[in-house]
Amino acid sequence: MIGQMLEEAWSALGANRLRSLLTMLGMVIGVGAVITMLSVGEGTKARVAAMIASMGSNLFIVQSGSAQTGAVRTGAGGQQTLTAADAEAIMELPGVVAAARVAPGSAQAVTAYGNWQTQVMGTTEAMLTVRDWGLSSGAAFGESDVRSALRVALIGQTVATNLFGDSEPVGQTIRLRNLSFTVIGVLAPKGQSLDGRDQDDTILVPVTTAQRQLFAGRFGDTVRYIMVQAASSEAMAGLQTEMTALLRDRHRLSLDQEDDFQIRNLAAIADTAAETVQLMTLMLAAIASISLVVGGIGIMNIMLVSVTERTREIGIRMAIGARKRDVLLQFLLEALMLSLVGCLIGVAVGVAGAWAVSLTVGMDTVVTTQSVMLSFAVAAAVGVFFGFYPARKAARLHPIEALRYQ
């Protein structure tokens, strides 16, 4: 019986092909817009997740405090208040996996192949653990290299490409501020950070080398910040409190004095970024869904016209034994078919739209199975919801009055 009704519904829609196609157009545009917008949102979410993962997990950045001269106050790091001893003390806290002190700066890297302006980070061997940063070739510097302040360097992929091209960088010499450094390793690619910086455009050197030679006079025995990795996300809140108490005690700050350092919880920042992207995705989908509502109104309108045009047909059906629920189901199936066929075409349009956005704008797009299934579910709901009133109107027609309709 359902099979026969489906055939009749398809035949009724085929009798007015142009009208049916124009009615489906609203669903096509709506579903296509939803699929495209969701793909953009999912692509952005995946990109942000990759950026967050590239930073490492369960991280804190302990920064030196700000300095104030008269009414002018500098940002974090303006006053050098953190030392190697602070980092060692933090390492002793329970729940700390690793702590890497950092003395950053910039320099022109010069080789026989060319030169490149880049960020140079004086740090310790713990940086690779904290940032979960592997090597694509070579080896990392160790504790003895840091203790001896050797002139060795790990270079990022961007630096390697711009300085050495296709040549093997390991074993080569680079000059930083007229000091020669031996490249002992190339860092694995990390990509962009959350703030848009190229994480591969960097050079790592032993922190003591940076303090005593490369940036002599800028840091002394201090560092700009310390990167700390916690054992788990659950331990981070308690660990932040413990680090604050430890540093205040080490820096001999009285109760009425402000902290001369700042502790940033990167996990909280990452969670905020993820929530923002999720909200953006939902907003894009909500805006695109307005087209689905418009498409549903179009279906209701055309089904009401169809009921009016087929009033005598409905009367004849009822006169020869069709029940009200049969008539109701018949028109509901027609509305549902308009929605689902429109949805099917809309999915194809949405996938093509996502591909076009990725190709022309360069944005990451991801079409998920969930978004396609959601589109079909919403399309079916729209068809039933907006098709019910016309179908109910058809089912409530009196057979005699319907037969008299001209």
Q: Contact 284/41 with Cβ under 8 angstroms? A: yes
Does 266 fall in a domain?
Answer: no
Q: What whole-number distance in Å separates Cα of residue 74 and Cα of residue 65?
A: 9
Question: Do 389 and 287 belong together in one domain?
Answer: yes
Q: Is residue 23 part of a domain?
A: yes
Between β-strands 261-265 and 59-64, what pairing exists: parallel, antiparallel or unpaired? antiparallel
Instruction: Provide the residue range defining the domain that includes 312.
Output: 2-51+272-404
Same-domain pairing of 65 and 150: yes
Domain identity same for 69 and 163: yes
H or E, element range at 73:
strand 72-73
Are 301 and 382 in a shared domain? yes
N residues, the chain: 406
Distance CA 110, CA 113 (A): 8
| Final residue in a domain of this structure, among 231, 262, 288 | 231
pLDDT for 171 equals 92
Residues 222 and 281 occupy one common structural domain:
no
Q: Kindly report the pTM of this predicted structure.
A: 0.64
What is the per-residue pLDDT for 125?
92
Residue 383: inside a domain: yes
Q: What is the pLDDT of residues 281-324, one digit of tens each?
A: 778 777 777 878 888 888 888 878 777 777 777 777 777 777 77
Confidence grade of residue 56 (pLDDT, cut at 50, 70, 90): low
Residue 254 inside a domain? The answer is: no
Q: Which of 227, 246, 225 lies closest to 92, judged by CA? A: 246
Per the domain annotation, does 276 fall within a domain?
A: yes
Share of the chain above pLDDT 70, in %: 87
Q: Tell me, yes or no, whether 46 and 113 share the same domain.
A: no
Task: Answer with the one of 199, 231, 263 that is the final residue of a domain.
Answer: 231
> Would you call 79 exposed, middle or buried from its count of C-beta atoms within 10 A (0-12, 13-18, 19+)?
middle
For 10-24, the pLDDT digits (tens) are 665 656 777 778 778
pLDDT-based confidence at 187, cuts 50/70/90?
very high
Asked if 128 contacts 159 with a C-beta cutoff of 8 angstroms, the reply is: no
**Stretch among 51-55, 217-221, 269-273, 282-286 having the lowest mean pLDDT:** 51-55
Separation between Cα atoms, residue 292 and residue 375, nearest integer Å: 10
Task: Give residue 218's pLDDT.
Answer: 74
DSSP structure string for 128-175: HHHTT--EEEE----HHHHHHT--EEEE-HHHHHHHHTTS--TT-EEE
Same-domain status, 133 and 213:
yes
Digit-coded pLDDT (tens) for 126-164: 999 888 889 999 999 999 999 999 999 999 999 999 999
Number of structural domains in the chain: 2
- Whether 173 is covered by a domain: the verdict is yes
| C-alpha span between 64 and 80 (Å, rounded) | 6
Domain boundary among 231, 257, 285: 231
Same domain, 66 and 35: no
Measured between alpha carbons, how far is residue 205 from residues 30, 62, 85, 162 in Å? 54, 20, 19, 18
Q: Mean pLDDT across the chain, nearest whole number? A: 82
Please tell me whether residues 35 and 85 are part of one structural domain: no
The structure tokens 């069709």 sit at 322
**Residue 106 is assigned to a structural domain of this protein:** yes
In a domain, 260, yes or no: no
Residues 102 and 163 in one domain: yes
237: pLDDT strictly greater than 60: yes
Query: Which residue has 């096509």 as its token pair?
Result: 28
| Residues 336, 222 share a domain | no
In this structure, the answer to whether residues 290 and 385 fall within a common structural domain is yes
For residue 73, the model assigns a pLDDT of 43
